[in-house]
Structure 1
Amino acid sequence: MSKRTLFTYYSSSSSTPTPPETNARPPKNRRVEFCASDIISDPGLRKPIDEYPFEIRDQVKRAYALRGPTQQPVGFTFPRSWQSGEWRSFQQHWFGTYDLLEYSESKDAAFCFYCYLFFEPGKPDKWGSSVFAKVGIDKWKEALEKFDKHDASHSHCNARLKCDDFMNQRTSVTRKFEKQSKEEYNRYKTRLSSSLDVARFLIQQGDAFRGHDESSTSLNKGTFGEMIDWYKDKVEVVKDAYDKGSKNCQMLSPFIQKDLTKACAEEVTSVIMDEIRGRRFSVLIDESRDVSIKEQMAMVLRFVNDEGKVLERFLGLKHIGKCTSIALKEALVGMISSHKLSMRMIHGQGYDGASNMRGEFNGVQKLVRDQNPYAFYVHCFAHQLQLVVVAVSTSTPAIADFF
């Protein structure tokens, strides 16, 4: 997979109310999605699974399950509190003994990763699955005893088994195709592979997928559809897979195209995280509006690799409700923590000169430095050059008239 930067846009909104005009056509519902950047690392700040829209709960579970227990900080100094006549705290080595544990820095409490994903409300809860999933354990005197009892409880074991079954893709595919022939299963894999090949090529070239009219009678179905047709004409096995396979599972729909693009983006992000491997880095962020007039924040990481070269890697886009310094800082923390990175690893910040970014008292750079005093701020040189060009062009009438 190429390391080329991917700019993948994710839409996430609820249906819009019908306008009051009688002749107005009600707008179409948009597909609600959950992105990897929406993952909240701190278990004490996560929204319960049953509070997400029903149609994306499986997406939420899969996104968290793929990452595993994210909040197991290494080298973190756990705060001590006075409990039962002694100073007590969470212990680092507990993570090695109990792989189910996650630690919340905001609540100074331990949570169970599996029970968060697959706890069933209303079921008998003898050993605190609801507490481990939603409230957290913060009494450390008898913590090991509670962990042992919870780990052996029926509700926790059931949640762990559900997680294993949920992530066992081969079992899942086998169940879906258990009534189908081996030939149909192979055709499905061929359709999937060919769609993925085309998606990867278009991503590497930075080309658009969709067309204005993607129906079977269209003269131009868009780049993705036309390339699939070209693929079928060139490779007989692929043509056979589409012509003789299931007509309801062609792997060509817009949703499938988006899922393939998202999977490729996550693979590239994984390569970037392998490059960083615990190194210090700087963050470069900027906000702007997309074509749908939604505010979004782009983030780039800048670091030095094993060969001593300075690299810049695009990490992703994050839609934000408003461009206040607090909202931008929360989006920054969310994107950093969703990739198992720590704010303490930031050693530099580069933004434009807007007050919400560089403000001395309330800007993003100040809020980040309150959390990490070594994250030094430098005014982005690209933005400085832009200001110089604008100033020069406006100061000379001939140049101003030219532009």
Structure 2
Amino acid sequence: WLQYLQEQDSAVCFYCATAVQQKMPLTNYIDDTFTKAGFSNWQKAKLKFSKHEQSGFHKNAVEMVTKFHKNKKSIREILSAEYEEERNDNRKALMAILTSMQFLSQQGLPLRGVYINNEENAESGELNSNIHQLLRLRASNIPMLTIWLKKSQDKFTRPQIQNEVMEIMAHEILRKIASRFSGCKFSVMVDESTGISNAEQLVFCLRYVDDDLNTHEEFIGMHSLESTSAASITNTIEGIMLRMSIQLKDCRGQCYDGASSMAGCKTGVVTSLLSKEPRALYTHCYGHALNLAVQETVKKNHILRDTLDTIEEMMKLIKKSPKRETIFNKRGSKYHANDS
């Protein structure tokens, strides 16, 4: 509420000065020091400021100014019906852009295309992107969208805006998923994967049982790893749970592969989490265990081993020649037709 006037080296009360300027009906004595003249006795500032804040005049002014601003509308809103219509049209256009981004993301389609940056051209932007083409299609049903897309700026279609919108949507999804775990016991399922950029990533999933005893598995995300050490993986897991407001004390299970960094009895992720929550029991991933069992079985059976090696060499032979692959596909189509 306190405002400093640099030219006069004094202070005034925003609420009291506003109430006096607007000629509001105040019931108490008007303090000119904090409304017009300005307070400049800095040696007694702390005492005077506290006394003024507790005064009936100040409290009355705060109440009057607050009501005034709450009920006040801008002149443009009051006098112009066109402004209200324009605002509604802009809202419809913006919602069309946001829902289009949401649709493309749900379908796993990229938003971007060739970006043309030309400030003088109203049609500059991602003219060949999925998002732009989808918006042009939807503009046939939303007339305002055509006008919006012809704007030279503030269209909310630039890559930076798209990234921010997608991040907001992702956080909202994670918040909804996290709300389902409120008070529920859950298990953690984690695996390591190498992405297309040849960087190590952590695949993080949560599994829980609802009140109707239905089992659910939720994919939370893929997170970059600084290293594949047990300490780095443990810190990443705890960081994800912290961001989702999920308590480790509610964890009742861990499911990983049998790698030493994950299931090591001394320094593995399992040991680290068990030291903090002994009830988080470890289960070796059944899919990984089955894969290892099949792999060892095939190695010890020379018929299966030779069969798989032969199939692998046949596929290499076929894939190296477009002609051979065409013949192979025709033969396959013929056998499928006979089976049907």
Q: How far is 1:317 from its partner?
A: 2.4
The 5 A counterparts of 1:10-21 are none
Matched residue, 1:61: none
The 5 A counterparts of 1:354-393 are 354-393=259-298
SS at match of 2:115: coil
Calculate the TM-score normalised by the size of structure 2: 0.60
Is 1:251 paired with 2:152?
Answer: no
Any gaps of 5 or more consecutive residues in structure 2?
1-73, 75-82, 117-122, 313-340
Counting matched residue pairs gives: 223
Moved more, 274-283 or 215-224: 215-224
Matched residue, 2:132: 225
2:148/2:155 contact within 8 Å kept: no
SS at match of 1:322: coil
Q: Deviations over 1:245-277 (max 9, x none)?
A: x42111111122222221221221122122111
Greater CA radius of gyration, 1 or 2? 2
Matched residue, 2:178: 273
Matched residue, 2:106: 204
Larger % of helix: which? Answer: 2
Q: How far is 1:390 from its partner?
A: 3.5
Rate the CA distance shift 1:389–1:224 in 2: closer, same or farther, 3 A: farther
Give the alignment partner of residue 250 of structure 2, picking from 328, 345, 370.
345
SS at match of 1:299: strand
Any gaps of 5 or more consecutive residues in structure 1?
1-173, 175-180
Matched residue, 1:296: 201
2:262/2:270 contact within 8 Å kept: yes
1:198/1:227 contact within 8 Å kept: yes
**% identity of equivalent residues:** 25
Calculate the TM-score normalised by the size of structure 1: 0.51
Matched residue, 1:315: 220
SS at match of 1:234: coil
Matched residue, 1:399: 308
* Counterpart-to-counterpart distance in 2, 1:235 and 1:271: 31
SS at match of 1:233: coil
Aligned residue type for 1:222: S
Q: Deviations over 1:183-239 (max 9, x none)?
A: 66445433321111111111221222222x233589971222211121223321222
Matched residue, 2:241: 336
Matched residue, 2:92: 190
Moved over 3 A (4+): 181-188, 214-220, 388-395
* Counterpart-to-counterpart distance in 2, 1:393 and 1:331: 36
* Counterpart-to-counterpart distance in 2, 1:187 and 1:234: 13
The 5 A counterparts of 1:3-82 are none
Greater relative CO (CA pairs within 8 A, separation 6+): 1
Q: How far is 1:294 from its partner?
A: 2.4
